[in-house]
Amino acid sequence: MINLRGTWAIYKQEVSRAWRAVFGTIVSPVLTTSLYFIVFGSAIGGQMQAVGGVNYGAFIVPGLLMLTLLSESTSNASFGIYMPRFTGSIYELLSAPVGVTETLIGFVGAAATKSLILAAIILATATVFVDYTIAHPILAIGYIMLVAASFSLLGFILGIWAEGFEKLQMIPMLVLMPLTFLGGTFYSIDMLAEPWRSVALFNPIVYLVNGLRWTFYGSSDVNILVSVGSTFAFLALCVVVIAVIFKTGWRLRN
Amino acid sequence: MAAGIANDAGMEPILDIRGLSKTYTGGFKALDNVDLQIRKGEIFALLGPNGAGKTTLIGSVCGMVRPTAGTIHAFGLDMKKHWREARQRIGLVPQELGFDIFDTVDRQMSYSRGLFGRAPDRERVTQILRSLQLEDKRRDQIRKLSGGMKRRVLIAKALSHDPDLLFLDEPTAGVDVELRRDMWRLIGQLREQGVTIILTTHYIEEAEEMADRVGIIDKGRILLVDEKHAIMARLGRTEAHFTLEQPMQAVPEALGRYNIHLHDDGRLLCYRGGNGTGNGKADVAEIARILVEQGIRFTALDQSESSLEDIFVEMMQDQEAGA
């Protein structure tokens, strides 16, 4: 039977750790995103044409939110599991009556919670700089939760894979960040000339940004069902990878 | 020497390890077909040099190391199948100080207790902290504590869920004498409460002081497991050095039945014998009587009993010589 108290202990500990580092977890990403809103939303956005009938300032809100969600979910979860490995306190987790289920719900749940709080703050902050509406708020919340959970799982995998702080930052900085910038955060991929438009469709982040954009404005560059389906598939893939890690004990029990 | 596995007839061991092996990636064999049974309520000391396999053995039981072969039963439960139930009753104090140093003692205690499935119990946590003189530090960040205090926190965390079986991996390595004495007292108290304790140590005096039984491990193999006193009886020795007034050419015939040798050009008569239970001392008294009776005068007598440490070192040397 699942150890509920153990799950809660991990979750509470992780949330409390984030609260202790509130500047890094909340203040810093909110400040960075606000700067994007000021520069690209208010300042430059006023000079830009509407994209797909949506004011440019409003158009970039889902993309910027996705940018923050991806990087924060990944780094929160990767640090969450990497730090106990680094400090040696992982022994307690490994010797406790908690398995993959408790560990995932605890660590990934906490990382996703932090991301959701962050998303709420960013959306609230965005209203100060740009006018935007959310066409499907329930779907938007659901999609944000799905993305936060999926990339927290990815972060968890990275935190187990990494053998140093450099490796921990490698995927978020060298893969996620460029793909997000090129994934339609600041533009519609329909604005790209061929063959770049077709090339862009190979970027998985395009589907995430456009999935969220659809929940905001009811239209996007790609089919919403493809976006949701591929996000679910990514989440399932991460769960399978983590299950295999726990089963084999890779980087944890050797 | 063959591994000796002592067990009380009819009493199920609290921990039963059979054929346990661990080969790490790269081929290093840390454990080699280890059999070990631990009795309920005892203090068991596992002695061995660095790299002998002590920590791997503990890690295999506690879940940090995945064994290559063998079975582990704790409280009669197969730890492969019933690991949740078994682990709830096991505590571990690791060798290395490892925790979130920016967290407070209180929060770490509540985390540990919850992790092992126990409901919050402030009164119990207070008792544990008090027993380790940590009560007034409970709101302190761990990074602000001294090394000794940090080690106490590790012990408090391991006790937070009231384990029935407690592993202490080198609990007093690098701690001061006062803390070591405190630890010994605490271990004694835990035993009185019925907690079974398995400790690894480099301080053989610790095993000699605390343990009921001692196991000696080297190169992943258990060389010997026995009652501490039985080990002393089997391998313990009395040594006596008589400094003679006049040098002697040969050992007198009357002392022929003893293991005696002359050193220092016949000025030092050295005896080595007994079995650690006191008959060596009787031999020394008898040798002294014979020397006096034969008019052989001696000016000094140095006598010593071999410690567990001597036995341990001797066994290791024998092992190396036989290798």
Q: Is the pLDDT at B145 greater than 90, yes or no?
A: yes
- Interface check for A139 against chain B (CB to CB < 8 A): the answer is no
Q: Is the pLDDT at B161 greater than 90, yes or no?
A: yes
Which pLDDT does position B273 carry in this prediction? 84
Share of chain A above pLDDT 70, in %: 100
User: Cα(A130)–Cα(A128) distance, rounded to whole angstroms?
Assistant: 6
CATH class belonging to B237-305: alpha beta
Contact A9 B110 (CB under 8 A): yes
Which pLDDT does position B129 carry in this prediction? 95
| Interface with A, mutate which of B64, B90, B157 (most A CBs under 10 A) | B64
Q: Is the pLDDT at B91 greater than 80, yes or no?
A: yes
In a domain, A58, yes or no: yes
Q: Is the pLDDT at B7 greater than 60, yes or no?
A: no
Which region among A37-46, A142-151, B61-70 has the lowest average model confidence (pLDDT)?
Answer: A37-46
User: What are the pLDDT digits (tens) for A223-245?
Assistant: 999 999 999 999 999 999 999 99
Which pLDDT does position B292 carry in this prediction? 94
Tell which wins on pLDDT, A252 or A74.
A74
Which pLDDT does position B3 carry in this prediction? 39
Tally of structural domains, chain A: 1
Which region among A131-140, A164-173, B7-16 has the lowest average model confidence (pLDDT)?
Answer: B7-16
Superfamily covering domain B15-233: P-loop containing nucleotide triphosphate hydrolases (3.40.50.300)
Q: How confident is the model at residue B1 (pLDDT cuts 50, 70, 90)?
A: very low
Q: Is the pLDDT at A190 greater than 90, yes or no?
A: no
Q: Is the pLDDT at A18 greater than 90, yes or no?
A: no
In a domain, A253, yes or no: no
Cα B5 to the center of its chain, rounded Å = 16
Contact B84 A83 (CB under 8 A): no
B24, B84, B98 member nearest A88 (Cβ): B98
In a domain, A159, yes or no: yes
Residue A123 sits at the vertex; the CA angle it makes with A120 and A128, to the nearest 5 degrees, is: 135
Question: Residue A226: which domain range?
Answer: 4-248
Averaged pLDDT score across all residues of chain B: 88
User: What are the pLDDT digits (tens) for B100-139?
Assistant: 889 999 999 999 999 999 999 999 999 999 988 899 999 9
Which pLDDT does position B235 carry in this prediction? 67
Q: How confident is the model at residue B322 (pLDDT cuts 50, 70, 90)?
A: low
Which pLDDT does position B318 carry in this prediction? 72
Averaged pLDDT score across all residues of chain A: 90
Average pLDDT, stretch B295-316? Answer: 81
- Interface check for A100 against chain B (CB to CB < 8 A): the answer is no
Strand B260-263 relative to strand B43-47: parallel, antiparallel, unpaired? unpaired
In a domain, A149, yes or no: yes
**Measured over all CA atoms, what is the biggest interatomic distance in chain A, rounded to whole angstroms?**
59
User: Cα(B149)–Cα(B108) distance, rounded to whole angstroms?
Assistant: 14
In a domain, A254, yes or no: no
Angstroms from B206 CA to nearest CA on chain A: 25
Average pLDDT, stretch B26-44? Answer: 95
Share of chain B above pLDDT 70, in %: 90
| Cα separations in angstroms, B161 against A225, B101, B115, B192, B193 | 48, 21, 9, 17, 14
Could you tell me the residue ranges of all domains in chain B? 15-233, 237-305
In a domain, A234, yes or no: yes
Contacts of B66 in chain A (CB under 8 A): 249, 253-254
Tell which wins on pLDDT, B276 or A45.
A45
Angstroms from A36 CA to nearest CA on chain B: 33
Which pLDDT does position A39 carry in this prediction? 87
User: What are the pLDDT digits (tens) for B227-284?
Assistant: 988 877 776 678 899 999 999 999 999 999 998 999 999 999 999 888 766 678 889 9
Residue A214 sits at the vertex; the CA angle it makes with A212 and A215, to the nearest 5 degrees, is: 65
In a domain, A94, yes or no: yes
Provide the whole-model pTM.
Answer: 0.83
Q: Is the pLDDT at B8 greater than 50, yes or no?
A: no
Q: Is the pLDDT at B150 greater than 60, yes or no?
A: yes
Query: Are the C-beta atoms of B314 and B218 separated by less than 8 Å?
Result: no
| Interface with B, mutate which of A4, A89, A93 (most B CBs under 10 A) | A89
Q: Is the pLDDT at B6 greater than 60, yes or no?
A: no
